[in-house]
Amino acid sequence: MKFSMERATLLKAVAQAQSVVERRNTIPILANVLIEAEGDTVSFRATDLDIEVVDKASAQVERAGATTVSAVTLHEIVRKLPDGALVSLSEEGATGRLTVEAGRSNFSLATLPKEDFPVMATSEYAANFSAEAQVLRRLFDKSKFAISTEETRYYLNGVYMHVADGEDGKVLRCVATDGHRLARIDAPLPKGAEDMPGVIVPRKTVGEMRKLLEDDEMQIAVSVSETKVRFATPEITLTSKVIDGTFPDYTRVIPQGNTRRMEVDASDFARAVDRVATVSSERSRAVKLALDEDRLILSVNAPDSGAAEEELVVAYADERLEIGFNAKYLLEIASQVDRENAVFLFNSSGDPTLMREGNDTSAVYVVMPMRV
């Protein structure tokens, strides 16, 4: 095998592959990237047995062939090469070494046989559709903060992507929750997604897929089956197993009857919460919201470190209310608002609170209160 390609192209392809590779591995081949050169394209394939990524790039291929080499080492080498360098990779079958050359640099890397590399079994997908990158980016970016990190409730360790009934018909919906807060994001249902089974996309897959979504106009081909999900651009294909479990009925925890409405500038609110939370004890991080007519007082009282208070002008015309929240949860939810004011809908100090952007119901957040 022998081919050469420009450093920037090679770096992009290898970077995507090496991020999937687990750093701590008991199976040596899983630390490697499978490089296959054929025609005028080279594909880089990496897997952790749950996720597989294949990145295709065009190159000048002199001799077709395939080998596997340490993904992290190759990435580090290419990253440290000078910009604009032409990198040549070649392997002589007899030596079992991959030679990387660029300018005056020369590296010889140990390889493992390509036959040992596990390739993910292909499967039939129940639904195939395409969606704009910016639509998928919004669905996952706005929901992923609420993914649970508790290993015991493994079915919450991802984003539940499914078809649901929205206000104006069927929608593509992403939901994530950890029991303390919940995010529910809707987007118009793409053509072909009607029969999609609901799947829980794991946290790591959400992070890896995010790298495919930088270009707003890019169309992403999405394929979904009961056990796998695939996201593909013309260059990169990401296939992942989904979490085998049942996502809880989240509709039961989204409050319908919250009538006390507070409207506030989201960035002012987030900054004020951040300021008063500075004195709170790390463990509880509780912030108290005291609401009165058109006025909100944020306060923190931490006996061991001090107290803080800040007043904000808000739109609120209901009876007086005092309610406490975890500051981190409030900050994360407020930072999701990017266009309008944040609208909070309260019921009482012990009930879940709903938050949305203005009157937009396509992104809804729920946060549980704390005793303060």
What confidence score (pLDDT) does residue 185 get? 97
Specify whether 290 is located in the same domain as 326. yes
Give residue 69's domain range: 2-116
What confidence score (pLDDT) does residue 338 get? 83
Specify whether 275 is located in the same domain as 203. no
Specify whether 53 is located in the same domain as 41. yes
List the one residue out of 141, 142, 194, 138 whose CA is nearest residue 165.
194
Q: Are 343 and 261 in contact (CB under 8 A)?
A: yes
The residue out of 206, 226, 252 marking a domain boundary is 252
Specify whether 247 is located in the same domain as 271. no
In a domain, 100, yes or no: yes
Q: Would you write out the chain's pLDDT as a tens digit for each of its 372 residues?
A: 999 999 999 999 999 999 999 988 889 999 999 999 999 999 999 999 999 999 999 999 999 999 999 999 999 999 999 999 999 999 987 788 999 999 999 999 999 999 999 988 888 999 999 999 999 999 999 999 999 999 999 999 999 999 999 888 999 999 999 999 999 999 999 999 999 999 999 999 999 999 899 888 899 999 999 999 999 999 999 999 999 999 999 999 999 999 999 999 999 999 999 999 998 877 668 999 999 999 999 999 988 888 999 999 999 999 999 999 999 999 999 999 887 799 999 999 999 999 999 888 999 999 999 987
In a domain, 122, yes or no: no
Specify whether 264 is located in the same domain as 363. yes
The residue out of 252, 276, 311 marking a domain boundary is 252
Specify whether 73 is located in the same domain as 169. no
Specify whether 195 is located in the same domain as 147. yes
Specify whether 242 is located in the same domain as 164. yes
Specify whether 286 is located in the same domain as 330. yes
In a domain, 13, yes or no: yes
What confidence score (pLDDT) does residue 327 get? 92
The rounded distance, in Å, linking the Cα atoms of 200 and 158 is 6
CATH number at residue 9: 3.10.150.10
Residues 6+ apart with CB under 8 A from 124: 225
Specify whether 170 is located in the same domain as 111. no
In a domain, 25, yes or no: yes
Specify whether 172 is located in the same domain as 76. no
Q: Are 31 and 71 in contact (CB under 8 A)?
A: yes
The residue out of 202, 229, 252 marking a domain boundary is 252
Residue listed under structure tokens 């270009």? 215
The gap from C-alpha 73 to its chain's centroid, in whole angstroms, comes to: 26
- When divided into structural domains, the chain yields a total of 3
Specify whether 25 is located in the same domain as 112. yes
Report the sign of the C-alpha dihedral through residues 182, 213, 38, 19, in that order.
negative
Write out the two tokens for 47: 């897997």
What confidence score (pLDDT) does residue 6 get? 96
